[in-house]
């Protein structure tokens, strides 16, 4: 029934797709976008997929570079923190020994 609702009583689509009724003169080929041969959908999808995969690959590379730089900075900071903590622990032990605690 839904299929019949999309069509009128004569069995044709309600949407007018006949362009000749709306325009008296044909559209010149220079301004008609449909006059030029259009690429096939498969070719368009292939080019789109290739372009998107290149963009994704470039983004992933940049993200990995940024994350590896961040990890290197965090590791360096962790090493400095552990060195400072070891120095403070040693100084604390030395002071406790001098005070006899």
Is the pLDDT at 43 greater than 70? The verdict is: yes
Beta bridge partner(s), residue 13: 7
At residue 90, does pLDDT exceed 60? yes
pLDDT tier, 35 (very low <50, low <70, confident <90, very high otherwise): low
At 6 the pLDDT is: 46
The residues, ordered by sequence, that sit 6+ positions from 23 with a Cβ below 8 Å of its Cβ are none
CB 6 within 8 A of CB 14: yes
Dmax (CA) for the chain in angstroms is 109
The separation between CA 77 and the C-alpha centre of its own chain, rounded to angstroms, equals 32
CA 1 to the chain's CA centroid: 42
Query: What does the block give as tokens for 52?
Result: 């998107």
pLDDT computed for residue 32 by the predictor: 63
Least confident of 2-6, 32-36, 62-66: 2-6
* Average pLDDT of the chain to the nearest whole number: 79
* Residues 44-55, mean pLDDT to the nearest whole number: 94
């Amino acid at each position: 029934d839904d299929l019949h609702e999309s069509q009128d009583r004569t069995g044709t689509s309600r949407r007018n797709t006949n362009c000749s009724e709306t325009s008296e003169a044909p559209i010149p080929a220079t301004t008609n976008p449909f006059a030029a041969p259009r690429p096939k959908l498969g070719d368009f999808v292939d080019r789109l997929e290739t372009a998107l995969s290149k963009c994704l690959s470039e983004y992933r590379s940049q993200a990995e570079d940024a994350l590896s730089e961040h990890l290197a900075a965090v590791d360096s900071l962790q090493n400095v923190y552990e060195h400072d903590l070891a120095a403070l622990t040693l100084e604390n032990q030395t002071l406790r020994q001098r005070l006899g605690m």
